[in-house]
């Protein structure tokens, strides 16, 4: 009896969303390191009058990422809305399967760029394909919506942070391995080819899992409308999720403003961080790049631990402010990093930096009817996409303009925007402090 029960439990686990989260993040971390090193290598011969060869290489690399990231941020807007509508009508797999297809195709394209020595600009087509599939804009809200099934209003933030924890743990493992896999080389395969093959296979496995194994609650035509939405009903062992009848527009607006300002700061800093660590005095190789990416993924784990610890005595708004202060201090310290050790010290200061966005999503889900939760989270993701249209070129051009005298200036700027993002959260806390107190555990 024990063995069959264990097999049934293992199969039931395989049919959940968690294996997809792990496989996708493992594949993505391998891909990110490969793309970063491939771009750096292809930009090695760049020239720019009046600038050193290293600064010209930095400019070429950041210009590539600026265009590529703008494509990735802009093209998913309408596909994500369409997929969110399908999800709210009961097709829960749509926001998962479609983006995973785009991820797989983009990985295949980079593999072809490396193997066939295609121009780097071909990756702009990969970004377009990824965007048209819905990309992260559709994928992550879809994951969060499914992961929230069975949670109560008080525990929803904890549930979402568990998803972030698994996402981060997979990212740490993938990033640590990525630099070493990049260096695997044979006479017929160049650097990075084996890494990209593994990444592509992981995404293929992830896509097949989402199509054939992922189990989602079905929706029948005769089912009441209020039961057609994933977040409305809890599991058989928990109470029904409490949701407001009407939208709290003031709180929703304040949460959107805070999220946009914070994402502007975080996204702008991360936009140039990849190029920053490759220039002198750091001058990282692929192995150190992988370790650095792993340090970023560790923040998923420390943020999860922070939520578990702080929720005993802190409100949701206090949690958000703790995370924002953590990032503001750490990214300001990053402005003055000159060694690998000080880089890790700066990263350590940002250990709670992921608490704000997850908690903001949790609060948003408590401000709208359950039937609108999926669409609201998607609108938030779309708002962040529109914000990226401003911060990507802004931070890129500021970084390029300050390479000669203060390359870390963009990180100071990110710290300032983070402080600005604390204002709307403080207003929410002052309006109704008792509303946001966590249930003690």
Q: What is the pTM of this model?
A: 0.85
Determine the CATH number of domain 7-46+53-215: 1.20.1250.20
Q: What span, in angstroms and rounded, lies between the C-alpha atoms of 271 and 66?
A: 8
| 248-428, CATH topology level | Growth Hormone; Chain: A; (1.20.1250)
Q: Which residues, in sequence order, are bridge partners of residue 437?
A: 315
Q: pLDDT band at 231, cuts 50/70/90?
A: very low
Buried b (16+ CB within 10 A) or exposed e, 229-268: bbbbbbeeeeeebebeeeebeebbebbbbbbbbbbbbbbb
In this predicted structure, the answer to whether residue 37 has a pLDDT above a threshold of 90 is yes
Which tokens in the block code for residue 105? 């195709």
Q: Do 415 and 292 meet the contact criterion of CB atoms below 8 Å apart?
A: no
**Which of 74-78, 308-312, 368-372, 429-433 is modeled with the greatest confidence?**
74-78
Q: What span, in angstroms and rounded, lies between the C-alpha atoms of 331 and 296?
A: 12
CB within 8 Å of 313: residues ≥ 6 apart: none
Q: What span, in angstroms and rounded, lies between the C-alpha atoms of 54 and 326?
A: 32
**What residues does each domain of the chain span?**
7-46+53-215, 248-428
What pLDDT, in 10s, does the model give residues 188-227?
A: 677 789 999 999 999 999 999 999 988 776 444 444 443 3
What pLDDT, in 10s, does the model give residues 138-190?
A: 998 888 888 776 456 666 666 666 787 889 999 999 999 999 999 887 556 77
Task: Average the pLDDT over each of 191-195, 349-353, 381-385, 426-430 and give the range with the smallest value.
Answer: 381-385
Q: What span, in angstroms and rounded, lies between the C-alpha atoms of 99 and 110?
A: 17
Same fold, 7-46+53-215 and 248-428: yes
Which tokens in the block code for residue 5? 């029960």
CB within 8 Å of 3: residues ≥ 6 apart: none
């Amino acid at each position: 009896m024990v063995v069959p029960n264990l097999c049934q439990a293992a199969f039931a686990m395989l049919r959940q969303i968690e294996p997809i989260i792990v496989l996708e993040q493992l594949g993505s971390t391998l891909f990110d390191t490969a793309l970063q090193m491939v771009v750096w290598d292809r930009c090695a011969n760049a020239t720019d009058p009046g600038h050193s060869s290293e600064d010209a290489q930095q400019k070429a690399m950041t210009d590539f990422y600026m265009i590529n990231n703008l494509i990735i941020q802009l093209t998913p807007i309408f596909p994500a809305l369409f997929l969110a509508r399908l999800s709210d009508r009961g097709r829960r797999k749509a926001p998962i399967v479609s983006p995973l297809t785009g991820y797989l195709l983009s990985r295949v394209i980079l593999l072809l760029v490396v193997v066939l020595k295609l121009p780097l600009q071909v990756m702009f087509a990969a970004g377009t394909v990824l965007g048209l599939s819905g990309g992260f804009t559709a994928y992550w809200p879809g994951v969060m919506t499914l992961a929230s099934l069975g949670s109560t209003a008080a525990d929803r933030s904890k549930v979402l942070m568990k998803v972030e924890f698994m996402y981060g743990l997979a990212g740490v493992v993938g990033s640590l391995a990525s630099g070493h896999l990049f260096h695997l080389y044979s006479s017929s395969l160049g650097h990075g080819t084996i890494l990209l093959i593994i990444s592509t296979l992981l995404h293929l496995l992830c896509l097949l899992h989402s199509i054939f194994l992922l189990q989602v609650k079905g929706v029948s035509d005769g089912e009441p409308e209020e039961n057609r939405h994933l977040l409305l009903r809890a599991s058989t062992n928990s109470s029904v999720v409490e949701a407001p009848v009407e939208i709290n527009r003031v709180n929703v607006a304040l949460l959107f403003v805070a999220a946009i300002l914070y994402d502007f700061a975080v996204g702008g800093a991360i936009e140039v961080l990849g190029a920053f660590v490759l220039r002198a005095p750091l001058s990282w190789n692929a192995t150190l790049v992988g370790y650095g990416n792993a340090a970023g993924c560790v923040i998923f784990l420390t943020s999860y631990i922070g939520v578990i610890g702080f929720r005993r005595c802190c409100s949701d708004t206090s949690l958000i402010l703790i995370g924002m202060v953590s990032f503001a201090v750490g990214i300001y310290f990053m402005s003055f990093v000159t060694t690998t050790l000080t880089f890790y010290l700066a990263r350590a200061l940002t250990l709670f930096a992921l608490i704000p966005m997850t908690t903001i999503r949790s609060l948003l889900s408590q401000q709208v009817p359950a039937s609108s939760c999926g669409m609201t989270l998607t609108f938030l993701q779309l708002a962040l996409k529109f914000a990226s249209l401003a911060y990507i070129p802004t931070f890129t051009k500021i970084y390029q303009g300050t390479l000669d005298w203060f390359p870390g200036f963009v990180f100071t700027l990110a710290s300032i925007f983070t402080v600005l993002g604390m204002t709307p959260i403080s207003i929410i806390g002052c309006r109704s402090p008792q509303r946001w107190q966590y249930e003690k555990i």
